[in-house]
């Protein structure tokens, strides 16, 4: 007999997004402030970000190298915000959609955003619980553990 699960309602605010209790990363107070500044200054840098003014990829370089060069950009929607966003779309590879954000920044702001997106000082550090988490994943999903270099 399979156990039925109840679907939970979709969160309506960021406050309702409960953190995973096993999250193995933490930020120092200083790094948290820097990350907050980066987010307010540049918006989301974790996906693909492309500067329409300079025609440069700002973030997502390593992820782009993993995509088929013929992957199409689809579903473009004009979207503007205080961080310089001018549009949103997806890069489609097969059935997968990867978010891409288009911005309009001068070259100096682009360079600052690129540096922020790659800044190890604001990426946090592992907590003591990371070893237990790694062991759990290695035991339960050994292929994922090996292929994603989680060691």
The whole-number pLDDT of residue 151 equals 80
Distance CA 148, CA 151 (A): 9
The whole-number pLDDT of residue 19 equals 80
Beta carbons of 3 and 90 less than 8 angstroms apart: no
Range 119-138 average pLDDT: 92
HSE-CB at 51 with a 13 A cutoff on CA atoms is 21
pLDDT tens digits, 79-116: 999 999 999 999 999 899 999 999 999 999 999 999 99
pLDDT tens digits, 40-89: 888 888 889 999 999 999 999 999 998 999 999 999 999 999 999 999 99
Q: 94 CB contacts (<8 Å, ≥6 apart)? A: none
Query: What does the CA dihedral 92, 96, 62, 149 come to, rounded to 10 degrees?
Result: -170
């Amino acid at each position: 007999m399979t156990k039925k699960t109840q679907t939970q309602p979709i969160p309506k605010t960021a406050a309702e997004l409960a953190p995973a209790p096993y999250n193995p990363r933490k930020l120092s107070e200083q790094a948290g402030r820097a990350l907050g500044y980066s987010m307010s200054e540049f918006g989301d840098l974790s996906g693909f970000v492309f500067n329409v003014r300079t025609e440069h990829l700002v973030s997502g370089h390593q992820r782009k190298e993993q995509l088929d060069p013929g992957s199409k950009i689809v579903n473009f929607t004009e979207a503007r915000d205080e961080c310089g966003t001018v549009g949103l779309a997806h890069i489609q590879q097969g059935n997968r959609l990867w978010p891409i954000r288009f911005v309009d920044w001068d070259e100096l702001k682009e360079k600052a955003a690129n540096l922020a997106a790659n800044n190890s000082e604001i990426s946090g550090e592992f907590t003591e619980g990371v070893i237990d988490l790694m062991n759990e994943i290695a035991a339960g999903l050994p292929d994922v553990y090996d292929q994603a270099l989680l060691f």
